[in-house]
Structure 1
């Protein structure tokens, strides 16, 4: 009789392990879990090796089972697995199963190695062909759903087209294709697919809702296009009016490839659509002898240089007090790259309309030089500009 176990037993008796399990006794828990993870039924991560870089026979056997049976059976098996993943919203896995279903239908039927070359049984090819077409249609339209959920809209449209080649009356294909086209703002195509779907099923709630979304999107895009068109038309009209205002005043302009960034400063009319309204120009007052400058964002054609100098002077860096309204002269470059002295009490409009100077890249440049140093500066200017 076996002795009953008691708390006082120093060591509990244990039965010997079967020979096939003897190796387990010496392994740690982590080693056992790693070993189990290579068994298909216990896998938590995919490991298609034997742990040493070779094939995993168990997994390869499981893979081979997926292709057992006729082409119809194999494809239907993959389709059903795809459906299960789709119901769980596992879109990538579902897509891969639908890929396999489609591929298996396109692959030639393979004969088993142990199957004789001639097997005497009847095959209803017409019935199998119909089944294959049904499975292929379902795989394509369901794969289109996977693409739609993953925002692969162009692939969704392609799969819907493949579906409709198999069955021109597949409403789901029209719905999913229309949804993908809407996401891509291909509204004519979205409208066409939705209309065709409703022609097949006029009571389809999803298609009706989709139709209203397409209409709303088209209305929005039309309004955006109208605003953009009106803005472009206004800008063109304003540009034309500005050019007319400049020509009528005899003001010459020129553009170069290296125009400065003036941000929002620009040549403007006080009324952008009235060429007779007051013109203003961005202007830079240069102090070339001291390599300094001041920027005037809007210099009216009616204003004089002296008016701006009055509030700009005294200059913070002019320690010698050389720059006073009466103690400086103003110079501008001519159209032939010479210099012309301009009156400080002459309006900017008259200076620019003289035909001797021009506005380059929308910016008026005026050099301010102390009278006592003007002659020397002019000589230096001429030397730098000798061709």
Structure 2
């Protein structure tokens, strides 16, 4: 029997071992040790090419290389790769792993070992290898071993030895199937394969509805997937089986904390949406009461957080409306952006601090030497009084605020004729 069954969830604690691990034989390189093990034991991993070695050793008086080093140094890179591929430890291409006759006795021996015994014993062997890999936190290797164990159990072709007791074999297969699924669920959880983890847990619960680890691992995977309600249900089902299980209690608390956090975020989002809805309702009511026309296009300009709003209180209809505005100087291809233009202020209020313009070397833009225009709904122009409150200019529906932005053209008196002619040409064109 294997010395490790279902693996614990808390890896800060020791594994539940049924017996002590076997003592390591120091005289032989251990499986998986690679070239380091051969070097330590002075064994040659590959045949030594004596002729190549003699060519390399220019100094006859130099000491001989250790066998492990000589076996590697006496071959080219390509030769080493080919020989490594014939060794199960380094094998990457099984089709080219044989000798000139297509045979590989070491690989055949290992394959035969995996097929020795009953179906249950082979599955148990793969499961034991998986457990050893888990003890070293080699999650990918462990997952592969558990997958092989499950594949042996579910294989349609029965190529293994017949068991002495069919009843005992059936029990062993059921046990190995449950353990392999729940242990593979652990690997998937550690690897971040959360959906696969839940599928393994579901398979485990189908075999054994009282497997507490399946509920725990499923709940943690579901929590990672942000399927919090399902995670909560899985933890609750596990606690119904074992109400004193510490891992499940911890999981349930994590899930409850996450659910509470999500609910807080959702409540905050809902409150924000409700507040925005109320602000928009009050603002739209205020604009309709003032007979100010607005329109939105599919390509609004980028204005960051600038928008039409009521100040100082966005929820009070008695507040003033404030608009983002752009002062356009079309005859010089320049502009100025005003983030907040109150309906109570005039164009003159802003020109007072904008003028003089830093780029106006000809001194054409002075308060008494410019005219202000705005486009009408039909595409024509109106002259906007510089000293009129913005509310008076916008009220009545002759002009409209497009994409929440008030557009005002500032033109020198000497160029107004050319500007008007250009705008008419655009309209008719």
TM-score range (shorter-chain normalised) is 0.7 to 0.9
- 1:1-387 aligned at under 5 Å gives the runs 25-26=50-51, 28=53, 32-33=71-72, 34=80, 45-46=90-91, 48=94, 49-50=97-98, 56-111=104-159, 123-270=164-311, 271-387=313-429
C-alpha separation in 2, matches of 1:329 and 1:22? 97
1:26 Cα deviation after fit: 4.5
Aligned twin of 2:8? none
Q: Tell me, which stretches of 5 or more residues in structure 2 are unaligned?
A: 1-45, 54-66, 73-79
Larger Rg, first or second structure (1 or 2): 1
1:376 Cα deviation after fit: 2.6
Q: Deviation per CA, 1:156-205, whole angstroms, max 9, x where unpaired?
A: 00000011111111111111111111111212211111111111111111
C-alpha separation in 2, matches of 1:109 and 1:386? 84
C-alpha separation in 2, matches of 1:56 and 1:301? 90
C-alpha separation in 1, matches of 2:205 and 2:104? 41
Q: CA RMSD in A?
A: 2.5
C-alpha separation in 1, matches of 2:370 and 2:281? 38
C-alpha separation in 2, matches of 1:61 and 1:55? 11
- 1:51–1:124 CA distance, 2 compared to 1 (3 A): closer
Aligned twin of 2:9? none
- 1:385–1:104 CA distance, 2 compared to 1 (3 A): same
1:250 Cα deviation after fit: 0.7
Q: Tell me, which stretches of 5 or more residues in structure 1 are unaligned?
A: 1-20, 116-120
- 1:55–1:299 CA distance, 2 compared to 1 (3 A): farther
C-alpha separation in 2, matches of 1:185 and 1:321? 64
C-alpha separation in 1, matches of 2:136 and 2:91? 20
For normalisation by structure 2, the TM-score amounts to: 0.78
Q: Deviation per CA, 1:286-330, whole angstroms, max 9, x where unpaired?
A: 111111111111111111111211221122222222211111111
C-alpha separation in 1, matches of 2:126 and 2:303? 65
C-alpha separation in 2, matches of 1:144 and 1:71? 22
C-alpha separation in 2, matches of 1:179 and 1:376? 72
Is the CA contact 2:48–2:70 (under 8 Å) kept in the aligned structure 1?
A: no
1:125 Cα deviation after fit: 2.4
1:229 Cα deviation after fit: 0.9
Q: Deviation per CA, 1:185-240, whole angstroms, max 9, x where unpaired?
A: 21221111111111111111111111111111111111111111111111111111
Is the CA contact 2:293–2:397 (under 8 Å) kept in the aligned structure 1?
A: yes
